[in-house]
């Protein structure tokens, strides 16, 4: 391998790519997507294309467990997909495949600089959308999440490792926020005061899902963990959802973390990187489409309690992401990649504005879920 002391980031990535595909195999390497945590590249070889990722080991401290979960996921889902593909009228669905390096027995590559790298297949003839503007797209994001949940809901939770303890457990993020608030060196401003006030008014709401879990109303199941709209791949010609990508956070959790994340990302046409807060609004029309798509796939395993907590999940996961971004701003941007010092503050303000918009329409959202549940209960499938 190239001497790490002299190697530029690009030559380092090339050396790693060659560890998976062999010397001279790589035709092009380009950054892929806009993930906030891992580093992701698209590899073009003479034949297929691949996704190469450096896992952020400050976040995923046991990356081997992430890979183990991917193995369990693949072993569970692939036979189901083969079975489904034999059915008449079957629809395209793909699961990114892990490609091991050429040497050794592990499914990942550790380079001498300490990076933990893995390679997966690339979903061809598909795209993802950062900001949803059409109901049809929202419906497909919902359908994709529903299909993914349908494929994984029966993986026994004890077969999956908890790769990110406390992930989406909002009361824990609240504790971390309080610690950050005490220790921060960030200067107070109108925006930070607004965030602090916003959080203070919602502290008691933070436990809504965890309390429902403690009461036995909600059960842990395998989840995706990060099903924001741009992690759902849509077929280029049909527009249909055909894969969920970014599978690092597949682990036991509440499906509400996923449904809430899907709703918060799908129903904010301004997107989470928006700079004009006036534009941030939760669209009930997109929520209707997203939930119609989701429930059409999920009706076989979703319970009345699950349905009951969907509006709260939309509100909570938007709020939680705002809380996480704001905490990271107070901590000096150590978790989410940031382009400038107030980037995570701006992202927090967007999520809090979205939370407010959800709160203003909570009754309508509750009515919508009730209406869709009744419609499904009356439907033949």
261 touches Mg ion (CB under 5 A): no
267 touches ligand GN1 (CB under 6 A): no
* The binder of Mg ion chosen from 60, 209, 226, 356 (CB under 5 A): 226
240 touches Mg ion (CB under 5 A): no
Question: Which of these ranges, 102-110, 211-219, 241-249, 363-371, lies near Mg ion under the rule CB under 5 A?
Answer: 241-249
The interface partner of residue 320, options being ligand GN1, Mg ion, none and the CB cut-off 5 to 8 Å by kind, is: none
318 touches ligand GN1 (CB under 6 A): no
36 touches ligand GN1 (CB under 6 A): yes
321 touches ligand GN1 (CB under 6 A): yes
For Mg ion, which residue has the nearest CB? 226
Q: Which is nearer to ligand GN1, 225 or 293 (CB)?
A: 225
Greatest pairwise CA separation for the chain in angstroms:
66
Structure tokens at 374: 């009744």
Q: Which is nearer to ligand GN1, 42 or 81 (CB)?
A: 42
186 touches ligand GN1 (CB under 6 A): no
Q: What is the 3-state secondary structure (H, E, C) of the chain?
A: CCCCCCCCHHHHHHHHHHHHHCCCCEEEEEECCCCCCCEEEEEEECCCEEEEEEECCCCCCCHHHHHHHHHHHHHHHHHHHHHHHCCCCCCCCCCCCEECCCCCCCCCEECCCCCEEEEEECCCCEECCCCCCCHHHHHHHHHHHHHHHHHHCCCCHHHCCCCCCCCCCHHHHHHHHHHHHHHCCCCCCHHHHHHHHHHHCCHHHHHHHHHHHHCCCCCCEEECCCCCHHHEEEECCCCCEEEECCHHHCEEECHHHHHHHHHHHHCCCCCCCCCCHHHCCCCHHHHHHHHHHHHHHHCCCCCHHHHHCHHHHHHHHHHHHHHHHHHHHHCCCCCCCCCCCCHHHHHHHHHHHHHHHHHHCHHHHHHHHHHHHHHHHCCCC
Q: Which is nearer to ligand GN1, 14 or 117 (CB)?
A: 117
235 touches ligand GN1 (CB under 6 A): no
Q: Which is nearer to Mg ion, 33 or 100 (CB)?
A: 33
The interface partner of residue 321, options being ligand GN1, Mg ion, none and the CB cut-off 5 to 8 Å by kind, is: ligand GN1
Q: Which is nearer to ligand GN1, 249 or 373 (CB)?
A: 249
| Interface with ligand GN1 in residues 90-129 (CB under 6 A) | none
42 touches ligand GN1 (CB under 6 A): no
Taking the complex as a whole, the smallest distance from the CB of residue 173 to ligand GN1 amounts, in Å, to 11
226 touches ligand GN1 (CB under 6 A): yes
Q: Which is nearer to Mg ion, 227 or 293 (CB)?
A: 227
Interface residue list for ligand GN1 (CB under 6 A): 35-37, 59, 226, 228, 246, 249, 272, 321
Which residues of this protein are in contact with Mg ion, per CB under 5 A? 226, 246
């Amino acid at each position: 391998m190239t001497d790490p002391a002299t190697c530029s980031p690009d030559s380092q990535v090339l050396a790693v790519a060659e560890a998976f595909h062999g010397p001279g195999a790589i035709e092009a390497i380009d950054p892929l997507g806009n993930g906030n945590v891992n580093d992701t590249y698209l590899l073009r070889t003479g034949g297929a294309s691949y996704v190469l990722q450096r896992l952020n080991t400050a976040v995923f401290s046991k990356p081997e467990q992430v890979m183990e979960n991917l193995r369990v996921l693949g072993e569970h889902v692939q036979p189901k997909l083969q079975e489904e593909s034999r059915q008449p009228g079957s629809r395209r669905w793909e699961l990114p495949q892990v490609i091991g390096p050429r040497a050794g027995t592990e499914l990942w590559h550790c380079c001498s600089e300490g990076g933990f790298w893995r390679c997966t297949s690339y979903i061809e003839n598909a795209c993802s959308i950062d900001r949803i503007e059409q109901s049809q797209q929202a419906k497909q994001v919902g359908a994709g999440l529903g299909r993914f949940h349908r494929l994984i809901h029966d993986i026994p939770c004890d077969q999956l490792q908890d790769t990110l303890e406390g992930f989406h457990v909002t009361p824990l993020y609240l504790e971390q926020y309080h610690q950050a608030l005490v220790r921060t060196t960030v200067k107070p401003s109108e925006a930070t005061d607004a965030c602090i006030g916003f959080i203070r008014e919602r502290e008691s709401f933070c436990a809504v899902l965890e309390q429902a879990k403690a009461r036995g109303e909600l059960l842990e199941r395998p989840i995706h963990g990060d099903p924001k709209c741009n992690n759902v791949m849509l077929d280029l010609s049909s527009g249909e959802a055909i894969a969920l990508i970014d599978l690092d956070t597949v682990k036991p959790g509440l499906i509400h973390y996923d449904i809430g994340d899907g709703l918060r990302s799908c129903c904010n046409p301004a997107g989470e990187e928006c700079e004009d807060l006036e534009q941030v609004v939760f669209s009930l029309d997109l929520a209707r489409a997203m939930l119609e798509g989701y429930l059409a796939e999920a009706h076989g395993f979703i319970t009345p309690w699950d349905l009951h907590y969907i509006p709260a999940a939309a509100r909570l996961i938007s709020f939680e992401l705002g809380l996480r971004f704001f905490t990271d701003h107070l901590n000096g941007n150590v978790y989410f990649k940031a382009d400038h010092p107030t980037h995570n503050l701006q992202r927090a303000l967007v999520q809090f504005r979205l939370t407010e918009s959800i709160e203003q329409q909570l009754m309508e959202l509750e009515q919508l879920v009730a209406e869709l549940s009744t419609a499904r209960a009356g439907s033949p499938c």
